[in-house]
Structure 1
Amino acid sequence: MKKTVDNLILLNVIFTAGLIISNVVTAKLMYTGITLFGNAVTLPGAGVCYAVTFLATDIIGELWGKKEANKAVIIGLIGQIFASLLILLTEYLPAADANMQETYVRLLGQNWVFVLASLAGYLIAQKWDIWIFHTIRARYILKYGHNKHRWIWNNASTMTSQILDTIVFIGIAFGIGFGWLFQPEMRPVLASMMIGQYLFKMILAALDTPIFYLLTRNSKKGEELVLEEFKV
């Protein structure tokens, strides 16, 4: 991918769209057929959509730098809040059909505990992702003078940030929102949900590595990269 303004805008659009759609489809749960602690592991429909956002910020960070990656996170946050407000506004507009209104509320109705959990998980995970991505990248480039092994910071940042996102989102939405954290019989369900969803996200993070390499193949290399990274 060439380092152009148009491509940067495109990645920001993909990032924000993936983020917004992940919140729209998160209510759909997928059964995996796997059990942990005697409980069936379910995955949210948002899993794949949300994984795209981490890939997008990693590409932006590799080609345009940490500052632009952080801008994408802020843009995504604004987009997410604005989309939630529009969905809420539409919900309270007069409905011509009661059945359609009921369907709308069931599919798109905003559970505000879930919204807050999503926003908290998003900000914590994305900020960590960008910080660890560029910390590992900078140290590697300083030591070796190249960025050939980009998979290291690509996977390390995404896989660790997904731990934070999973714990924060599920902990707030289900642990506190549903009260499962305070119910001994539901804690194993909470734990199986966290572990199962994280393993799914980890697999997706590994699978997006070839795409990351493909789209960052034009990133700067060698001494030129070192000079730019550390402002020598």
Structure 2
Amino acid sequence: MLEKFRSLEFRTQFLVCVFVASVITSNIIGGKVSEIGLFGLPVIFSVGIIPFFMTFFILDTINEVHGQQKARETVWLAMFTQAFIFLVILAALALPYAERSWVKAPEFTAVFGMSIRIIIASLAAFFLADMSDTYIFARLRERTKGKMLWLRSNISNFIGETIDTFVFMFLAFFDPATGRGVSFVIALTLPYLALKFALSVINTPFVYAGVAWLRGGGQASK
């Protein structure tokens, strides 16, 4: 039994599960905005970034060991899972409340309520960003002949995170009629990008650790 848990197949499935769980958790808790002090400056961010930062290094780990196809399959799995959860939540919100319900409508809506626009923005940003990340990482691996993992990981992450942030912010918040034009969205986006870039650099040792751990379960064919 222990040998099964040490196998490459089990370790890969474990990382895929953590990836999907991180993406879903990021969406669920992303509505809360927190503020911390960093070097004397206020840093405001969505708490959804906490599990989100894990997704890129897990994807790079899978891509490095198994190749682009497996990484793309992981993205598709997370995409379908998110879409299913969003549909279930929308259905639950649409159903009428019974008088005996111990969770009242305002409370339930406050936790799970989200607009169709936010859902579309979230799905589009995730899919475009992570598919771009898997493609760029794979192409860089070919160019570097499998060397400089730190460089490949960070470049693909920077590009993926930029796509994710700009696509989501513009689809979710761009509305010139209410004063939320291009300058507003860019001002909203840049602090998130800076934080994501910093987390990407911090993630680098975890990519190396993840690759070593995954390869410890056996040899994968790319």
TM-score range, shorter chain: 0.7 to 0.9
Aligned-pair distance for 1:168?
A: 0.4
Q: TM-score, normalised by structure 1?
A: 0.81
Structure 2 Cα separation of the partners of residues 163 and 110 of structure 1:
23
If asked which structure has higher relative contact order (CA below 8 Å, sep 6+), I would say: 2
Structure 1 Cα separation of the partners of residues 111 and 213 of structure 2:
42
1:109 aligned partner, one-letter code: G
Structure 2 vs 1, CA of residues 126 and 3 (structure 1 numbering), >3 Å: closer, same or farther? farther
Structure 2 vs 1, CA of residues 185 and 109 (structure 1 numbering), >3 Å: closer, same or farther? closer
Structure 2 residue 185 is the aligned partner of structure 1 residue 190: yes
Q: TM-score, normalised by structure 2?
A: 0.84
Give 2:140's aligned residue.
136
On the 8 A contact 1:58/1:133 being kept in 2, the answer is: yes
Aligned-pair distance for 1:87?
A: 1.7
Give 1:6's aligned residue.
10
Structure 1 Cα separation of the partners of residues 126 and 72 of structure 2:
12
Structure 2 vs 1, CA of residues 112 and 211 (structure 1 numbering), >3 Å: closer, same or farther? same
Give 1:120's aligned residue.
124
Aligned-pair distance for 1:217?
A: 2.3
1:209 aligned partner, one-letter code: T
Moved more, 24-33 or 109-118: 24-33
* Cα displacement string for residues 92-141 of structure 1 (whole angstroms, at most 9, x for unaligned residues): 34343476321110111131100000111011101110011011111101
Structure 2 residue 160 is the aligned partner of structure 1 residue 161: yes
Cα RMSD over matched residues?
A: 2.7
Structure 2 Cα separation of the partners of residues 91 and 197 of structure 1:
30
Structure 2 Cα separation of the partners of residues 67 and 185 of structure 1:
39
* Cα displacement string for residues 11-42 of structure 1 (whole angstroms, at most 9, x for unaligned residues): 111111111111111111123568xxxxx863
* Cα displacement string for residues 160-196 of structure 1 (whole angstroms, at most 9, x for unaligned residues): 1101111000011011xxx1x4555765442221000
Give 1:49's aligned residue.
51
Give 1:205's aligned residue.
200
1:132 aligned partner, one-letter code: I
Aligned-pair distance for 1:67?
A: 0.6
Aligned-pair distance for 1:6?
A: 0.8
* Cα displacement string for residues 74-101 of structure 1 (whole angstroms, at most 9, x for unaligned residues): 1001100111122223323434347632
Q: 1:1-232, aligned counterparts within 5 Å?
A: 4-32=8-36, 42-93=44-95, 94-95=97-98, 96-97=100-101, 100-141=104-145, 146-147=146-147, 149-175=148-174, 179=175, 181-183=176-178, 187-217=182-212
On the 8 A contact 1:84/1:110 being kept in 2, the answer is: no
SS in 1 for 2:84: helix
On the 8 A contact 1:70/1:127 being kept in 2, the answer is: yes
1:160 aligned partner, one-letter code: I
Structure 2 Cα separation of the partners of residues 185 and 193 of structure 1:
10
On the 8 A contact 1:30/1:45 being kept in 2, the answer is: yes
Give 2:3's aligned residue.
none
Gaps of 5+ in 2: 1-5
Structure 2 Cα separation of the partners of residues 77 and 211 of structure 1:
24
On the 8 A contact 1:62/1:219 being kept in 2, the answer is: no
Structure 2 Cα separation of the partners of residues 211 and 189 of structure 1:
34
* Cα displacement string for residues 55-74 of structure 1 (whole angstroms, at most 9, x for unaligned residues): 21111101111110000011
Aligned-pair distance for 1:48?
A: 1.7
